[in-house]
Every structure is written in structure tokens, then in C-alpha cells.
Homo-oligomer: A and B are copies of this chain.
Amino acid sequence: MMGEFELIQRFFTRPAPPDAQGVVLGIGDDCALLQPAPGMQLAISSDMLVCGRHFFADVDPRALGHKALAVNLSDLAACGARPLAFTLALALPEADEAWLEPFSQGLLALADEHGCALVGGDTTQGPLNICITVFGEVPARSGGAGVPTQALLRSGARPGDDVYVSGTLGDARLALEALQGRILLPSEVLTPARARLEWPTPRVALGLALRGIASAAADVSDGLLGDLGHILERSGVGATLDTTFAMHLLAAYADYTGASALFEQEIGEKKGLQCVLSGGDDYELVFTAPVAQRAAVHTAAQASGTPVACIGQIEATPGLRLMDAQGALRVNDFASFDHFA
């Protein structure tokens, strides 16, 4: 039987990637040591993934390793922080090499892609649980009011700002419903949707490119309306969203041959809208920017190779309003995900 230290040595200890800036000391001591460059702050986020709640027990361990880090990198992206390093705490029912090897490969491949070094953590026996804490670097800001940082925060949205989302939305939730047997998707639609659920792409390059341009940002983990709601609440503003955009953000909608009619017949527009507006696990960015930054937003999107779409406007009146194609307000009955509700 493999012991705890052998497990760490075999699957998780490597020389730091050559571009691992800021890492003074990695795995093997009581603490890791990081030193941000002068004038830089450390952005920190922590996510815990539980078997049966965030992933199925039989998920491809390589995809799980990828996703466990991706959801954390997504929080750095939402702050416009550059990834530096992460810790991994892992509870495992048993030290199963056939699981650990692909898990660590999926995890470390994404880490390498972002120059993000694994610097420490913990392993223990217990029900499968993956807790990653990630560290990124963002410049401090001197002068002016508010938090002295150049990080993108949830609190900076102002009336008149545009509201944007990156990429596509809702496919992860659509795949989840299909995997749970609640809807039926043809395989040419399920396969890419499932990839969105299991292999999310953290929008790190876009987040970095939006620094100094976006007024507020969050990542879409619990659903668009819920995560935008956090921005509105922290900024003390409201918004109206144009829901005519919505179905076109769902990649699966376009994947149906003959698109809208067939989709509506098989899935229903109500379900499609629900996936787009309140489906979780997309890991896109929802962000706001002043109208004067429209050109800069599109330059940032192009430079980072990430599509963005303007979906509404920030308003002084609190609350989140949805508008249909006829310009009429529709009832917002889309609940976002809550782990205890």
C-alpha cells in the first residue's frame, strides 16, 4: 500500500515550472513561501469540490483534476490576477494509483498552461473531497478612493455601464440535465456540452486584458443572474438585461441542425433560457464597463481570443430586470444555485 509521502512524491512533486515567478519555496516544508513582486498584491481564492455534489463519482479523473484547478483559476480571472501558485488538499477513500495518475495529469497540465506551481497542501483518507487554494498577482493602486488595488472587483459597476458576458452560457447545465437523465440530447449536441461541464476554460487572459477597462467583474459559477446579482449588490446598483440575446449564447442551440425550431421542439425555450440565465458551472466572466470603453472591451476580447457579448445595462434602480424581444419586462423566476437552499 502506498503511503501518504510516497503519494505526494509520486504524483504531485515536480520541479516548479521554469516561469514560476514569486515562488520562494514549494512542497516539502511546513509552509510554502511566496513573494509577490514589489507593488503587487496576492489574490487568493479557495474552492472545495465534493463527490456527488460538484461531480459524479465516475467522472474521468483527468477531467476532474482539470476542473478542480479551472474553477479556482476562474476566480483569479474574475479579479484580473495572473496565476502564480496553488495548494491542493485532497481527501481520498484510498490511495488508488489508477485514479491518482490521470487526476494529477489533468491538474498539472492546466497548471503548466498557466505557469501556476503546486506549492503545497495536504492528503488524507476520507470521502473524496478536493480543496484547492489558488494565488495570483495583481498590481496595487495608490491614490484615489476605494480599495487600493488594480484588481477587478464586484463593487465597481456604475449606472450607464454596459453588461457583458464572455463565451457561451448554459451548455454545462444542459449537459448536467442530460447526464442526470432529465432531458435527452443527441450525441452531437451532448458531446460538446459535456466538454463544457467537465473541461471548463478559465478566462484568465480576458481577465488580465480587462484590467483598467472593466468597472466590475465576477465569474459565472452559480448562474448568470445570481453572479451578476453579486455585482449589483456589491455595487449598489441594478440592471436590465435583454433576454433576446440569451438563446444565442447557448452553444447547443446552434448545434441543433435547423436550430431554433428543432431545439424548441425537443428541449423547450423555457429550459434553454433557464440554462443560460441560471445554469451554473459555465466559468465565463460577467463584467461591466463604461460606454466609453466599448472599443477597449472589444480590443481586449480580440487580444485574448475570447468572444464577449453585451447583454444589458447597469441602472441606478436596484434589482435585476429582464426584457423580452418586444421590450416588455418578463418575470425573473430563474433561481441561481445555492448549496444549502
Which residues on A are within 8 Å of B, measured CB to CB?
1-5, 7, 24-25, 28-36, 38, 40-48, 50-54, 75-76, 78-79, 81, 87-92, 94-95, 119-127, 129, 131, 133, 135-136, 138, 140, 147-149, 151, 153-155, 217-219, 234, 338-341
A2→B131 contact, CB < 8 A: no
Query: Bound state CA distance, A206 and B61, in angstroms?
Result: 42
Of the listed residues A75, A122, A147, the one surrounded by the most CB atoms of chain B closer than 10 A to its CB is A122
Query: Bound state CA distance, A130 and B51, in angstroms?
Result: 15
How close is A128's CB to chain B, nearest CB, in angstroms? 9
Residue of B nearest to A45 (CB): B31
A78→B151 contact, CB < 8 A: no
Query: Bound state CA distance, A140 and B37, in angstroms?
Result: 12
B89→A25 contact, CB < 8 A: no
How close is A2's CB to chain B, nearest CB, in angstroms? 6
How close is A5's CB to chain B, nearest CB, in angstroms? 7
Q: Which of B29, B48, B133, B136 contacts A129 (CB 8 A)?
A: B48
**Residues in chain B near residue A125, CB distance under 8 A:** 50, 53, 339-340
How close is A146's CB to chain B, nearest CB, in angstroms? 10
B339→A131 contact, CB < 8 A: no
Of the listed residues A4, A133, A138, A154, the one surrounded by the most CB atoms of chain B closer than 10 A to its CB is A133
On whether A52 and B218 interact (CB within 8 A), knowing A29-B153, A33-B43, A138-B33, the answer reads: no
How close is A214's CB to chain B, nearest CB, in angstroms? 12
**Residues in chain B near residue A29, CB distance under 8 A:** 79, 153-155, 234
On whether A87 and B46 interact (CB within 8 A), knowing A30-B75, A33-B138, A339-B123, the answer reads: yes
B41→A2 contact, CB < 8 A: no
B153→A25 contact, CB < 8 A: yes
Query: Bound state CA distance, A94 and B339, in angstroms?
Result: 10
Q: Which of B38, B95, B149, B339 contacts A24 (CB 8 A)?
A: B149
Q: Which of B54, B148, B155, B340 contacts A1 (CB 8 A)?
A: B340
Nearest first, the 5 closest Cβ-Cβ pairs linking A and B are A50-B126, A131-B131, A30-B78, A31-B43, A48-B89
How close is A33's CB to chain B, nearest CB, in angstroms? 5
B339→A31 contact, CB < 8 A: no
Query: Bound state CA distance, A79 and B191, in angstroms?
Result: 48
Query: Bound state CA distance, A201 and B78, in angstroms?
Result: 38
Query: Bound state CA distance, A148 and B34, in angstroms?
Result: 11
A34→B45 contact, CB < 8 A: no
How close is A234's CB to chain B, nearest CB, in angstroms? 7
B123→A126 contact, CB < 8 A: no
B50→A91 contact, CB < 8 A: yes
On whether A41 and B35 interact (CB within 8 A), knowing A24-B147, A53-B126, A341-B1, the answer reads: yes
* 21 A-B residue pairs with CB within 8 Å: A1-B340, A3-B338, A3-B340, A24-B149, A25-B149, A29-B234, A30-B75, A31-B136, A31-B151, A35-B140, A36-B36, A36-B42, A38-B38, A44-B87, A44-B135, A48-B131, A50-B124, A52-B126, A54-B124, A91-B129, A125-B340
